[in-house]
A = this chain, B = another copy of it.
Amino acid sequence: MPVEAAYPTDRIVLREVGLRDGLQLVKAWPSTDQKLDWLAQECAAGVTHFEVGSFLPASRFPQFADLPGLLEFFRTRPKLHASALVLNERGIDDAFTTNVAEIACVVSATEEHSQANIRRSRSEAIDLVRGAVAKRNATGHRALVSVGIAMAFGCSIAGDVKSEEVLNLVERCLEAGADLVGIADTVGFAGPDQVFELSKAVHLLVGSGRFSVHLHDTRGMAIANASAALDAGCRILDGSLGGLGGCPFAPGATGNAVFEDLVFLCETKGYRTGIDLHALTDVRRIQQAAMPAEQLYGAIARAGVPKNIQWAKGENRQQQAQVQGGRDEETYIPTR
């Protein structure tokens, strides 16, 4: 699949990573049926891009054991896009036996985190990317290979991270054949000015807004950081419904950027997402039912959409787009 088809740069792509990053540390998780409801309802609300699990040993990560089954959901829905995480060769092999549309690799910004996270050096992690691309090309599988640079804004183990270091890794990942590279504030160290500067630099390096920014709300900066990333030209943002998710390297952390609040942010900035916020926040009920012990975050779910917002009134128009499982092409109006 050409990366341009999955990630057009004339609009914002919001990726819902709750079924992967959101379930990384939970003690209870939704059943496969509940996950499928979660996916179906979010698709109906207009969400198009998902990270749905990790190709990891089911013995250690039982919450992702049903990943191949979840991917089947996407087989009949070509307008949707499903990615899954891989951390080793075994995961890559497993991924290519499925219809996954994107294999998401991780390269840490620091040696220290790389070893702690995947027991490999950064160079070995990039070799893994290179191997995934080679295997993809050899098998004729159509999956994209993407890389997220973890701890790109500072590392809870090693401390400061230089932008040059991150940009160098981005370059090496692209050289290794990655279709898409992103930068991640894994432990929520960044403020908006740092996100703006690094996003701007990645934008220049990549030559377009086709790179992702993955934010955690550990210190309450996720929405401000997302706004800064958009201002710097980034066109792909990650979030999880209800802000679900944590990080083993960020104690006391809240989760990912709240997906529904990201939608609201984009809309206030004039980027039409095609997502019905009322329908989207309803999906939190599935999370609450499946994981009653998990705290959900987010302000839009509590306060609702402001009555003065123009786009909130066009629900019927948006609903049409949702039925098609994608954005409404004809009425897409870039207002920014």
Q: Is A308 an interface residue (CB 8 A)?
A: yes
B-side contacts of A161, CB under 8 Å? 308
B-side contacts of A224, CB under 8 Å? 192, 223-224, 226-227, 265
Closest to A195 in B: B268
Interface residues of A in 228-244 (CB under 8 A from B): 228
B-side contacts of A258, CB under 8 Å? 220
A193:B270 contact, CB within 8 angstroms: yes
B218:A303 contact, CB within 8 angstroms: yes
B-side contacts of A220, CB under 8 Å? 223, 258, 261, 264, 298-300
Closest to A226 in B: B224
Instruction: Please classify how large the interface on chain A is, using the bins under 10, 10 to 19, 20 to 34, 35 or more.
Output: 35 or more
Known pairs A187-B306, A264-B220; A269 contacts B192 (CB<8 A) = yes
B-side contacts of A189, CB under 8 Å? 306, 308-309
Interface residues of A in 249-268 (CB under 8 A from B): 250, 252-254, 258, 261, 264-265, 267-268
Q: Is A103 an interface residue (CB 8 A)?
A: no
Interface of A is mostly: loop
- As for how many copies of this chain the complex holds, the number is 2
B-side contacts of A307, CB under 8 Å? 156, 159
B-side contacts of A226, CB under 8 Å? 224
B-side contacts of A193, CB under 8 Å? 268-270, 336
B-side contacts of A217, CB under 8 Å? 299
B308:A159 contact, CB within 8 angstroms: yes
A264:B219 contact, CB within 8 angstroms: yes
B-side contacts of A154, CB under 8 Å? 306, 308
Q: Is A155 an interface residue (CB 8 A)?
A: yes
B-side contacts of A223, CB under 8 Å? 220-221, 223-224
Interface residues of A in 283-319 (CB under 8 A from B): 298-300, 302-304, 306-309
B308:A194 contact, CB within 8 angstroms: no
Q: Is A87 an interface residue (CB 8 A)?
A: no
A302:B254 contact, CB within 8 angstroms: yes
Closest to A156 in B: B307
Q: Is A190 an interface residue (CB 8 A)?
A: yes
Closest to A269 in B: B193
Q: Is A124 an interface residue (CB 8 A)?
A: no
Q: Is A68 an interface residue (CB 8 A)?
A: no
Give CA–CA (A306, B194) in the complex, Å.
14
The CB with the most chain B CB atoms within 10 A, among A154, A161, A192, A298, is that of A192
A219:B300 contact, CB within 8 angstroms: yes
Give CA–CA (A159, B306) in the complex, Å.
9
Give CA–CA (A302, B255) in the complex, Å.
12
**Least Cβ–Cβ distance between A242 and chain B, in angstroms:** 12
A residues with CB within 8 A of B: 154-156, 159-161, 187-194, 217-221, 223-224, 226-228, 250, 252-254, 258, 261, 264-265, 267-270, 298-300, 302-304, 306-309, 336
8 contacts between A and B (CB under 8 A): A191-B227, A219-B306, A220-B223, A220-B300, A224-B226, A224-B265, A227-B228, A254-B299
List 6 A-B pairs, minimum CB-CB distance, nearest first.
A191-B268, A220-B299, A224-B224, A159-B308, A189-B306, A220-B261
